[in-house]
Structure 1
């Protein structure tokens, strides 16, 4: 029993140290991406405006979400022009807090090492730190205004412990638009580096 607890404790501490290191140097955000395209080349002019559903128009967060998506659209070759747009872009996002997959199995008995969906630490009576886990998904739908036709649809999903939506969501929009307009078919993994790059080895 003691050896099991020691191994579990060592694993948790190593993971905790790795998480702290990741905060200092950035981290690799893995995304599951799926895209659907009716385009063969980057359209010209690729001007666009944002399109909102009635429910999005009443949501004060929507403008912030569009601002987070705008840099990724620019990298893909789009240029925002609300006066003479050729396309409209609808932006969606969902962020949900879920139980951590690294929940501590000993926690149900009130003792042990490790992370749980609610706290971290040793023993049943000691204070423990939060270890939240999030499931996120972003989506973009590009519609050609002249024919009211959807020409590109893409979405990216990720789950992990990262707290900062202002850093994570733009990276997910980058992942969703990777390969535009000729993205590979089917579900694929796209990794995006978030934060400061790691220092080069000496």
Structure 2
């Protein structure tokens, strides 16, 4: 009996070490598509943020997305000025999840992903705040989280669309305040003259601190 308990302890300790290692390293993989018709950096470098009726109706929930988009726009040199913006900017966000059948069952998965949750913000968008983790699941496939953002820019004077970009991320782990901010940064990377079309961007996340210890059962003495 003591031997079995020792083996159980070693197994749990190994899982804890694996989880700690995974927690210390994290990358956000973004599938980005960008199309720009801007000849150069806008002058003046200002924009007016145009909110859709659905975004205005759900202002308290959308405020977090709005703030993250503004921070990313500021990082590429654009400042919000709703009275004298040279650009008109629309933003969107999507959030939904499903079971990761393909990874769990391999090529013999009985069916593909069935995205079964989402609320709308923006052009065909959804939104939800949450934190998830795909751990050791022996009975059901892990949850697969889909997160996406979009940014569309128009010239204020002509109303011509001059910039369109989006970023998508799927993973069994999510932390929405981190993921959405990272996606806006990825979508706007290279502004105002990024590579045209699809590309992939990997963003390493800073380690906030050591992983939290996982309790391990103490072995019984023989």
1:28-79 CA-partner distances (Å, limit 9, x unpaired): 1111111111112211211112111112211232222110111211111101
1:98-140 CA-partner distances (Å, limit 9, x unpaired): 11243257xx9xxxxxxxx99714xx6xxx8x94220111100
Whole-angstrom distance in 2 between the partners of 1:136 and 1:86: 29
Q: Output the aligned Cα RMSD.
A: 3.2
1:2-47 CA-partner distances (Å, limit 9, x unpaired): xxxxxxxx9xx87x85554243x34111111111111122112111
Q: Is the 8 A contact 1:26 1:197 kept in 2?
A: no
Q: Which runs of 5+ in 2 are unaligned?
A: 1-10, 111-133, 211-222
Match of 2:104 in 1: 103
The correspondence for 1:163, drawn from 171, 174, 181, is 174
Match of 1:29 in 2: 28
Q: Secondary structure at the match of 1:102?
A: helix
TM-score, length-scaled by structure 1: 0.73
Match of 2:201 in 1: 190
The correspondence for 1:181, drawn from 170, 173, 192, is 192
The correspondence for 2:148, drawn from 121, 137, 148, is 137
Query: Could you say if the C-alpha distance between residues 145 and 158 of structure 1 is closer, same or farther in structure 2, counting changes exceeding 3 Å?
Result: same
Query: Could you say if the C-alpha distance between residues 198 and 189 of structure 1 is closer, same or farther in structure 2, counting changes exceeding 3 Å?
Result: farther
Whole-angstrom distance in 2 between the partners of 1:197 and 1:118: 20
Q: Is the 8 A contact 1:28 1:191 kept in 2?
A: yes
Match of 2:55 in 1: 56
Q: Which runs of 5+ in 1 are unaligned?
A: 1-9, 109-116
What aligned pairs does 1:23-102 form with structure 2 within 5 A after superposition? 23=23, 25-60=24-59, 61-100=61-100, 101-102=102-103
Q: Is the 8 A contact 2:50 2:90 kept in 1?
A: yes
Q: Secondary structure at the match of 2:39?
A: coil
Match of 1:112 in 2: none
Q: Is the 8 A contact 2:99 2:142 kept in 1?
A: no
Shift of 1:183: 1.2
Whole-angstrom distance in 1 between the partners of 2:40 and 2:55: 30
